[in-house]
Structures are given as structure tokens and as C-alpha cells.
Chains A and B, each alone.
Chain A
Amino acid sequence: SYELTQPLSVSVALGQTARITCGGNNIGSKNVHWYQQKPGQAPVLVIYRDSNRPSGIPERFSGSNSGNTATLTISRAQAGDEADYYCQVWDSRDVVFGGGTKLTVL
């Protein structure tokens, strides 16, 4: 079965740029989606199909995908960006989530 690998944690200084990676075999050939989940809340879609932002998501959130790595980039990180972030792809008929990355804003 297809696996997605994310770092357990990423730290970023307030106002700096955070990058969260999602690794998978030839992931660049798949559409990658990213979700933000704050404690006690449901996940929120922040990037879909590699680099598209849903309505209401700040331009500070962007995504890229190539080769074996997809990346979620959060520019000018704010305290409110602290959350768990999950990547997701489709593999045949299955949905696969990465293990999640906890983003800490220092």
C-alpha cells in the first residue's frame, strides 16, 4: 500500500517561513491535498491539487509537488498557524493520509 511520510514536528519563528514536507514514491504524479487541524477542531482544507487555495485561505499558504516530495509552505507564520497538518492523496481506490506534522510557532 502507498505510504506518505511527514516529519513529526516543524518549528518556525514568528513571521518566518515554515515548510512541511510529504514524501511518497513518485508523489509528483499524484494530486496532493493539505489539511490544517487545530486542537479540538475538525480538519480544514488549506491546499488542494498541489497548489490551489480554497476560498478563505490566506495567500500565505502555498503548495508544490515534484518528484518524491510535496511541500506545504506557510509564509509570515502567525501564532494562529500552530496546528497539525496532514497531506493526503488518492492511491487507486484508497485515500491515504500522511501521519501529520505538528507546527510550532516560536
Chain B
Amino acid sequence: EVQLVESGGVVVQPGGSLRLSCAASGFTFDDYTMHWVRQAPGKGLEWVSLISWDGGSTYYADSVKGRFTISRDNSKNSLYLQMNSLRTEDTALYYCAKDVVPAGRDAFDIWGQGTMVTVSS
């Protein structure tokens, strides 16, 4: 079964740091571009970041650029999001998602169930 499972979400104070993980199974992980997408409570979807199949290319939404770092370990079929200098507006459910095609820049066909990050004092 193709599956993505996120973990690492907790309550953290403003200015704090957090690392999210996403474990992939059921497909050839190192063939695909991967993404993080977030959803604030009661709000819509917001794309956060992507990483190419080999980790050689990464891109970020302006709202997180300079604070978040996406990475992957293909030997462990895992995707990560290092989140620093967290703000209250980063409070959201964070999803990892798989691109439909290896080259990326397409739709997201597989999503995890999400992990909740709450930034609050």
C-alpha cells in the first residue's frame, strides 16, 4: 500500500524550532519530488516547500523562506522539514505529499494524514 506518515508535530513556543518527518512506503521514494503543504485551522491549503528526487533542488514559499529547510534521506525513505524561528502564523496541520511524476511540477497524488504544529506561548 502506498503510504505517507508524518510525525513530529507538537506545541512549541514562538521563536522555537521543530523537525517534522514523513515516512514513505509502497513506492520508489527516491524517484519522486516531494512536498510539504500546510493548512491552518479552518483555512485552505498552502504549499510550503518541495525537494527534488535527489535533494539537489529545493524551493520554498516566501512565507517560510529563510526559516524552514526541507531535506530527505532516500536510504530511509524519509522526508523532513526543519522549522526554525517559528511564528504563531505557522500553526497548522502539515502534510507531506508526493508529486505525480518524478520530475515534479505536477499534481500531488498521495498525501499523508498530517501532523499538527501549534505555535503558542
Contact = CB atoms under 8 A, between A and B. Distances in A.
Interface of A: 31, 33, 35, 37, 41-45, 48-49, 54, 84, 86, 88, 90, 93-100
Contact of B59 (A37, A41, A54, A93): A93
Interface stretch (B17-25, B44-52, B66-74, B83-91): B44-52
A42 B4 CA distance: 11
Interface of A, secondary structure class, is strand
Contact of B45 (A35, A45, A48): A35
B44 A97 contact: yes
Size bin of chain B's contact surface: 20 to 34
9 smallest beta-carbon distances between A and B, as pairs: A95-B47, A33-B107, A48-B107, A42-B111, A100-B44, A97-B45, A93-B59, A99-B44, A45-B109
Given A42-B112, A45-B107, A88-B107, A94 B59 contact: yes
A42 B113 contact: yes
A48 B59 contact: no
Contact of A49 (B35, B59, B107, B114): B107
B106 interface: yes
A100 B45 contact: yes
Contact of A43 (B45, B46, B59): B45
B40 interface: no
25 contacts: A31-B106, A31-B107, A35-B45, A41-B113, A42-B95, A42-B111, A43-B45, A43-B95, A43-B108, A45-B100, A45-B109, A48-B100, A48-B106, A49-B107, A86-B44, A86-B45, A88-B107, A88-B108, A90-B105, A90-B106, A95-B50, A97-B45, A97-B47, A99-B44, A100-B44
B47 A96 contact: yes
Nearest to B105: A90
Contacts of B109: 45, 48, 54
B114 to A, nearest CB: 6
A45 B47 contact: no
A90 to B, nearest CB: 5
A35 B47 CA distance: 14
Among A49, A54, A97, the one with the most B-chain Cβ atoms within 10 Å of its Cβ is: A97
